[in-house]
Homo-oligomer: A and B are copies of this chain.
Amino acid sequence: MTLFAAGWGCSGGNLRGMQTWDAITSRRNVRDFADRPIPAADLDRILEAGRRTPSSQNWQPWDFVLVTDRAQLAELSRVFSGAYHVAQSAATIAIVGPTADNPFRRAQFDLGQAAMSMELAAADLGIGSCHAGVADMTLARQVLGLPADRDWAILLSLGYPASRPLTPVRSPKRRPFDEVVHRGRW
């Protein structure tokens, strides 16, 4: 693999992307994607962000299956009614969980960290994303060729927004800051 042979590392050589705070504030769920492929190098960069995610005792409980084939995406979108957007995505990454949890029961937490890393790496490139759970794990296992002992996955659909490009969201629909944040004590 020759990831980032050029332009890797400090922003001096990094001609793509945006400031971190812009990526954090621009990230939003996108379910309506433009009919435009994502360059392979950008998909690799998103996956690399996932690979770098920290985890409990560095156990890295994830595997990523990248799907870009249109027919396979359509099939994959049938694993859950809420996964319809996978069919029209430019690519979908299936984040696959481990065969068993670790003693600290940190699998789900760490898988969530990996998802967030990839969502922000995508936003940095102007790429929208959306999660979809998997209701029919048997179908997901079949479409993705997962080993029989993997019983959890979540899908992250990716693509350029069909309409509004990603720009900072000024007032996200979230609980108020002062309700969420407690200073010193709850």
Interface residues on A, range: 35 or more
Q: Are A180 and B109 in contact (CB under 8 A)?
A: no
Question: Which one of B104, B119, B183 lies within 8 Å of A66 (CB-CB)?
Answer: B183
Residues of B within 8 Å of A147, CB to CB, are 186
> Are A51 and B180 neighbours in the complex by a CB distance under 8 Å?
yes
Secondary structure of the A contact surface, majority rule: mixed
Residues of chain B within 8 A (CB-CB) of A172 are 51-52
Q: Determine how close the nearest CB of chain B comes to the CB of A90; give it in whole angstroms.
A: 15
- Decide: B168 and A10 in contact? CB cutoff 8 A: yes
Tell me whether B24 and A180 are in contact (CB under 8 A).
no
Counted per complex, copies of this chain come to 2
In the assembled complex, which residues on chain B have CB atoms less than 8 Å from the CB atom of A185? 65, 144-145
> Which residues of chain B have C-beta atoms less than 8 A from A173's C-beta?
58
A82 to B139, CA, bound (A): 41
Report yes or no: A63 in contact with B19, Cβ–Cβ below 8 A.
no
Q: B-facing mask of A51-81, CB < 8 A → 1, else 0?
A: 1111010101011111111001000000000
Known A-B contacts: A62-B180, A112-B115, A145-B182. Give 10 more (CB < 8 A). A1-B178, A10-B167, A10-B168, A19-B20, A21-B45, A53-B116, A54-B131, A64-B182, A105-B108, A146-B186
Report A's interface with B, CB cutoff 8 A. 1, 3, 8-11, 14, 16-25, 27, 29, 44-45, 47-54, 56, 58, 60, 62-69, 72, 96, 104-117, 119-121, 123-124, 131, 133, 144-147, 154, 167-170, 172-175, 177-178, 180-186
